[in-house]
Homo-oligomer: A and B are copies of this chain.
Amino acid sequence: MATQLFDKETTIELRKKHIGPSCKVFFTKDPIKIIRGQGQFLYDEKGERYLDCINNVAHVGHCHPHVVQAAIKQMELLNTNSRFLHDNLVQYAQRLTATLPEKLSICYFVNSGSEANDLALRLARHHTGHQDIITLDNAYHGHVTSLIDVSPYKFHQLGVGAKKDFIHVASAPDVYRGKFREDHPDPASAYADEVKEIIEQTQRKGRQIAAFIAESLQSCGGQVLPPPGYFQKVAQHVRGAGGVFIADEVQVGFGRVGKHFWAFQLQGEDFMPDIITMGKPIGNGHPMSCVVTTKDIAESFLNSGMEYFNTFGGNPVSCAIGLAVLDVIENQALQKHAAQVGDYLMALLNELKEKHPLIGDIRGTGLFVGVDMVKDRLKRTPATAEAQFVIYRLKEEHILLSADGPHRNVLKFKPPMCFSREDAKFVVDKIDTILSVIEKAADPDRETHQETPEIGGCKRKDPSLPNEDDEENVRGGGRRHVGPGEEATHRHKAAKKRLRT
């Protein structure tokens, strides 16, 4: 059993003293101290077990022994930079590209999703000679300067005028809450036509598009699945304007979506991005990442005359770990497992939807699932406070889930891929109970008593809502977004205020 060096209070104090205050913990008012992980479970300093429904980084399960052993073996032997020849680098590149369309054959190894997306933008700009980027609303692509520029979720927080001239924002292709919904005859074309219009407007201003960048499934946008065919149509418009298509698979790659190894493949076999970026799950928590592109784009980058070196990228230890992660996905058939457990989870959640008017939409694929909570199914009014309350209550039940999307009302499942049917049943049952309590409390004919939570008009003692949960939620926390987000923030603040009284 692991022991702790400091008691929890000391850890919190030292954190306050030495860690940037912009770096938030989960559940600010009562953060969790985790000292051990195994599979889909995390253990706190008291040995108490939490079911982890959110860590898509610990892809094949926390501390998977095959991955750890591969790391140990290589760390004991050699860990140096990629200016020396090494078999791990080329073997990993070979195995990774074997999962992709043949033309996506050239790899650049880096250390994080942010480094990957930044390099993707550099590749696109060198290849096209253009500067402008089209991104989707609510998108998040990373924390370095160039990526905040293409992340409306981040730059909206900086207020009006934060969008750079060379950035163009297209509507998120969200068929539940977006401009064109499930009742539209062809939402894929409608959303793609908007990108076409943006390109034309941009060109009329004498500007040129270098790239369209999108997550293959929008994660912080609230588990948004673009309608199939959307990427093909967008790619046609973008390539027609001399630009390239960047698929950001940092959150959703490596078999998570079940049906395919890569989420962009959900769009159909006739779609291939020009550049794909990877991250989080690639090393099961080890800092590594990759950009894969075509020979043509790689040649253009070479011809720029600027060489590329990344001190840690593609080192033998990172590659050994990457190889081991691929082994586990294959040997444990985790992609198929994600498809099966994901289907089961979706079925359970759809049953819940029948029962609870607070659930407006269930969407997802594999182990990437969203539950869109609404106050009113017709108006689809986001039930932000209610979603936050669910997360809070689940934490008390030792289940880690997050709420996300521009309104922070979408319960978001992205667990380690070893997440089981039993786990799915366990968490859905708990959500069922919590929703029943909220709905009962919201019913004017309800019996009131001290223990009833004040959410949507109900009361609860010492609530201490989590005001962040994962990378995306945090962004929701402090945003100054004008538009629906603003509304959501106000609503959220009002809900928090209610909960504190």
Cα distance A462–B94 in the bound complex, in angstroms = 32
**Does A132 interact with chain B (Cβ within 8 Å)?**
no
**Does A318 interact with chain B (Cβ within 8 Å)?**
yes
Q: Is the CB of B312 within 8 A of A285?
A: yes
Whole-angstrom distance from the CB of A403 to the nearest CB of chain B? 14
* Contact-residue bracket for chain A: 35 or more
- Contact mask for chain A residues 19-57; partner B; CB cutoff 8 A; 1 contact, 0 none: 111111110000111111100001000000000000101
A308 — which chain B residues lie within 8 A by C-beta?
20, 22-23, 143
Q: Is the CB of B82 within 8 A of A23?
A: yes
Q: Is the CB of A97 within 8 A of B18?
A: yes
**Does A287 interact with chain B (Cβ within 8 Å)?**
yes
Q: Is the CB of A24 within 8 A of B301?
A: no
Q: Quickly give the copy total for this chain.
A: 2
- Contact mask for chain A residues 312-348; partner B; CB cutoff 8 A; 1 contact, 0 none: 1111011000000000000000000000000000000
**Does A203 interact with chain B (Cβ within 8 Å)?**
no
**Does A183 interact with chain B (Cβ within 8 Å)?**
no
Whole-angstrom distance from the CB of A474 to the nearest CB of chain B? 4
A106 — which chain B residues lie within 8 A by C-beta?
18-21
- Contact mask for chain A residues 471-490; partner B; CB cutoff 8 A; 1 contact, 0 none: 10011011110000000000
With A19-B107, A474-B307 given, is the CB distance from A12 to B112 under 8 Å? no
Cα distance A25–B144 in the bound complex, in angstroms = 27
Q: Is the CB of A474 within 8 A of B94?
A: no
- Contact mask for chain A residues 294-314; partner B; CB cutoff 8 A; 1 contact, 0 none: 000011011011111111111
Whole-angstrom distance from the CB of A140 to the nearest CB of chain B? 10
Q: Is the CB of A76 within 8 A of B87?
A: no
**Does A446 interact with chain B (Cβ within 8 Å)?**
no
**Does A79 interact with chain B (Cβ within 8 Å)?**
yes
A305 — which chain B residues lie within 8 A by C-beta?
157-158, 478-480
- Residues of A66-119 contacting chain B, CB below 8 A: 68, 71-72, 75-87, 89-91, 93-94, 97, 105-108, 111-115, 118-119
Q: Which of A1-9, A185-193, A239-247 contacts B (4 or more CB under 8 A)?
A: A1-9
Whole-angstrom distance from the CB of A433 to the nearest CB of chain B? 25
Cα distance A308–B91 in the bound complex, in angstroms = 35
Whole-angstrom distance from the CB of A9 to the nearest CB of chain B? 10
**Does A17 interact with chain B (Cβ within 8 Å)?**
yes
Q: Is the CB of B311 within 8 A of A279?
A: yes
Q: Is the CB of A468 within 8 A of B307?
A: yes
Q: Is the CB of A315 within 8 A of B285?
A: yes
**Does A141 interact with chain B (Cβ within 8 Å)?**
no
Which single residue of chain B is at the shortest CB-CB distance from A45?
B85
Whole-angstrom distance from the CB of A71 to the nearest CB of chain B? 6
With A85-B33, A306-B22, A474-B307 given, is the CB distance from A145 to B118 under 8 Å? yes
**Does A436 interact with chain B (Cβ within 8 Å)?**
no
A76 — which chain B residues lie within 8 A by C-beta?
63, 68
Q: Is the CB of A75 within 8 A of B86?
A: no
Which single residue of chain B is at the shortest CB-CB distance from A37?
B78
A195 — which chain B residues lie within 8 A by C-beta?
none
**Does A494 interact with chain B (Cβ within 8 Å)?**
no
Whole-angstrom distance from the CB of A220 to the nearest CB of chain B? 11
Q: Is the CB of B311 within 8 A of A21?
A: no
Cα distance A25–B89 in the bound complex, in angstroms = 12
Q: Is the CB of B111 within 8 A of A80?
A: no
**Does A200 interact with chain B (Cβ within 8 Å)?**
no
Q: Is the CB of A94 within 8 A of B24?
A: no
A79 — which chain B residues lie within 8 A by C-beta?
37, 58, 62-63, 284-286
Q: Is the CB of A5 within 8 A of B298?
A: no
**Does A154 interact with chain B (Cβ within 8 Å)?**
yes
**Does A423 interact with chain B (Cβ within 8 Å)?**
no
| Partner pick for A309 among B86, B87, B318, B471, CB 8 A cutoff | B471
Most chain B CB neighbours (cut-off 10 Å) among A19, A79, A89: A79
Whole-angstrom distance from the CB of A178 to the nearest CB of chain B? 25
Which single residue of chain B is at the shortest CB-CB distance from A140?
B309
26 contacts between A and B (CB under 8 A): A2-B78, A6-B91, A14-B93, A15-B85, A19-B90, A20-B108, A20-B298, A22-B304, A23-B308, A23-B310, A24-B83, A32-B85, A34-B85, A35-B86, A55-B80, A62-B80, A71-B75, A72-B75, A83-B468, A114-B144, A119-B144, A286-B287, A286-B317, A305-B480, A307-B468, A307-B475
Since A18-B90, A19-B107, A287-B315 are in contact, a sample of 9 more A-B pairs with Cβ atoms closer than 8 Å, ordered by chain A residue number, is A18-B97, A18-B105, A19-B93, A21-B106, A24-B83, A25-B83, A111-B312, A115-B143, A286-B317
